[in-house]
Chain A
Amino acid sequence: MTLAHPRKAAPVTDAPIYLDYQATTPLDRRALDAMLPFLQEEFGNPHSIQHGFGRKAEAAVEQARANIADLIGADPREIVFTSGATEANNLAIIGAARFRARMGDGVKRVLVFAFEHKCVLEAARSLSDEGFTVETLPVTADGFADLTALEAALKTPTSLVCLMAANNEIGVIQPVAEAAQLTRAAGALLHVDAAQAVGKFPLDATALGIDLMSISGHKMYGPKGMGALFVRRRPRARLLPLFHGGGQERGLRSGTLPPPLIVGFGAAARIAAAELDAESKRLERLSLLFRETLKTSGAIFTVNGALTPRLAGNLNIAFKDAPALDVMAAAPHIAVATGSACSSASVEPSYVLSALGLSPEVAATSLRIGFGRQTTEAEVVAAAKALAAAAGQAARPDAAA
């Protein structure tokens, strides 16, 4: 049995251009190569440590755990593997909130910012069914968490604060260290959804004072279906598991671990650590080139959210008077998005853009554009020209009135 490499699409001028790197990233070839042996001869169950098949799988899992810990300045024992960032977010939020409510002093209050990922908001909302108070905090017009509001809200005893490291729609990087100080001073835990951030810019969970941090494999060129939760050891962030079973992952996450996915995730972490600096500079140049090309192509647009600090590979652009869905329809070979992938089939305006105070009209003209490791200068120029032309075609000045 051999696994062939997936065929590479031949580059042609009207070839599809993928600019949706915040929805998902392609699996890095090197991560794929690392995975292949574990899909073939090294197929052991990593918990069967009494024979060689299992021990090899276990060793590979632990190597990957160390790679991921290295990337975020953590101890390998602080990494709990999950099936993705969504599960990590669920485990962190529901697990930490329940722990304090049931095993601690009974405080049942959780704070979330209005622009958090849907799975964070949903996990928090599910806690309100269990009698928790869930308070939503505002964000500024530039797309930053409102820390004044956080400080005020923390005057009431709180178990958990959720603040993402970088927003998935507007890419704005959040003041996590400041939030961590406020949160710890108030005796609460800080959970950071870092799905979009890890591997994109340096993020040291220990130095930043983060208690719980969710990581996604497929947002950093690893496989889908794999993620991790950082759980701080000193001082220890305590959790109850979401579900039970064989007691894997120190009892926090039962279920057989999948070595191929984990090895791919670990390789992706190792690659990100080595290439993060150079790659983010390259993406910044591509982002600038994209905006310049839009301008020289006659597009009229604004960028939603502060330009800095921002994920180098993210832009969220409102084309004047041009409905986003019409722009996408006029340039169907450019893969971009109107918002997060989970809700991209929805026609509702983005709640993230609404939280910034943008009108539904402006939100409806906004596109998320994501650059990444496989994006070339030629693609950026071609996509900017195509989107500028599409926006010109789609513009309906009267419709906005």
Chain B
Amino acid sequence: MTVYLDHNAAAPLRPAAAAAVAAAMGLIGNPSSVHDHGRRARRLIEDARTAVALSAGARPADVVFTGSGTEACQLALRIGGRTRLLASASEHAAVLQAPAGARLLPLNGDGILDLAALEAALGADARDAIVAVMLANNETGTVQPVRKIAEIVHRAGGALVVDAAQAYGKLALDLNELGADAVAVSAAKIGGPLGVGAAIFRLGVAPQGLIVGGGQERGLRGGSENLIGIAGFGAAASEIDASIADQPRLKQLRDRMERAILMIDAEAVAIGGAGPRLANTAAIPMHGVEAATQVMAFDLAGYAVSAGAACSSGKVAASHVLQAMGLPSPTVAATIRISLGLTTTAADTAGFVEAWRTLYNRKRQ
């Protein structure tokens, strides 16, 4: 059985989410129908909305369910009347590919947004600007100083949209404490099902809808709701505290794994390790071995890891995140991501270290 160390791409369903999904599968109604079947489906969705709101320090009315984290990001970016998009250079493609085109803001060597560059880009009057920053990066786990960023953005009159997809369930998320005008999250990253996300807006902030239709989600997102997806999302969100409480354990496993690998190869490095990071994510180069080669070799050895973001992992393009940190291209080309989660054990990470050692020794011969 292959050991799964790619939790940042997709995580197994939490048991409570699986139970909620199974229960929802047995319901018949359309949540918009007024008969009893419909009302029961509606109740399930509204309970899930409350759970998701609580997990992000928001009100239920601020939560708009979407079909993915990507759609949630794009919806969050459509907050009223702003024409200029500034984004950190390490944003997910869901943000960087926005149609109007984003102006990229540089990062320092630890992957942290350059705050002076942000201030300069905003200018004195940024009432036309949206700044997009991810709370934690999906490839390196680097955590941005979002509260500080929010102060700078708001001082200039800008709006702040935070892609919290990867941080969700790993760091406590509170919309107001962050100072974000909108955040985007994805159920799959917290042990909920794939195919459902949410954009969460601060009181008084509303976007222009992206998918119009039957008036669902207060007119902000048309389409019959993904009942089982949303039910699973709600159940996973109800357990957000347990997920966050598991992080110190993962940090210990991750740190021990990194130290062991760095002892095998003095050239190896824990990318982003000097700055604040998620507890579960490691990005480590094996110099001279292409990331794709490593991933395939580890797959054969029984370890599922990745060469970067899943949406682009089938492609050969070098990671824009690692490039933005100023890493030399041989390092970028040789870096893989190892991401731990709920099901990861000490035996898993120890076994991976041995697989790493084996591949490293083989490649050096």
Contact = CB atoms under 8 A, between A and B. Distances in A.
B203 to A, nearest CB: 25
B70 A6 contact: no
B11 interface: yes
Interface stretch (A133-141, A221-229, A379-387, A391-399): A221-229
Given A225-B229, A256-B70, A258-B229, A123 B35 contact: no
Given A23-B38, A225-B225, A256-B188, A54 B211 contact: no
Contact of B313 (A16, A47, A340): A47
Nearest to B298: A51
B224 A86 contact: yes
A89 to B, nearest CB: 7
B25 A27 contact: yes
B94 to A, nearest CB: 4
A3 B231 CA distance: 14
A247 B93 contact: yes
B350 interface: no
A344 B99 contact: no
Interface string A125-152: 1100000000000000000000000000
A49 interface: yes
A244 B227 CA distance: 25
Interface in B307-338: 307, 309-314
B299 A52 contact: yes
Given A3-B22, A86-B224, A255-B71, A245 B97 contact: yes
Contacts of B196: 225, 258
Contact of B213 (A45, A90, A242): A90
Main SS class of interface, A: loop
Interface residues of A, number: 76
Nearest to A261: B195
A51 B299 contact: yes
B211 A225 contact: no
Given A86-B222, A87-B67, A224-B224, A242 B211 contact: yes
A122 B213 contact: yes
B312 A43 contact: no
Contact of A50 (B12, B38, B97, B299): B299
Contact of A344 (B33, B210, B213, B225): B33
A99 B32 CA distance: 33
Given A18-B28, A86-B222, A242-B210, A47 B310 contact: yes
Interface of A: 1, 3-7, 16, 18, 20, 23-27, 32, 35, 39-40, 43-45, 47-54, 82-87, 89-90, 117-119, 122-123, 125-126, 216, 218, 223-226, 242-248, 254-261, 328, 332, 335-337, 340-345
29 contacts: A16-B36, A20-B35, A25-B28, A35-B25, A40-B13, A43-B10, A47-B310, A49-B314, A50-B299, A50-B307, A51-B6, A53-B2, A53-B4, A83-B67, A83-B211, A84-B223, A223-B226, A225-B228, A225-B229, A243-B71, A245-B94, A246-B94, A254-B68, A254-B97, A255-B70, A257-B195, A258-B68, A258-B193, A258-B196
Interface of B: 2, 4, 6, 9-13, 15, 18-19, 21-23, 25-30, 32-38, 66-71, 73-74, 92-94, 97-99, 186, 188, 193-196, 210-216, 222-230, 292, 295-296, 298-299, 304-307, 309-314
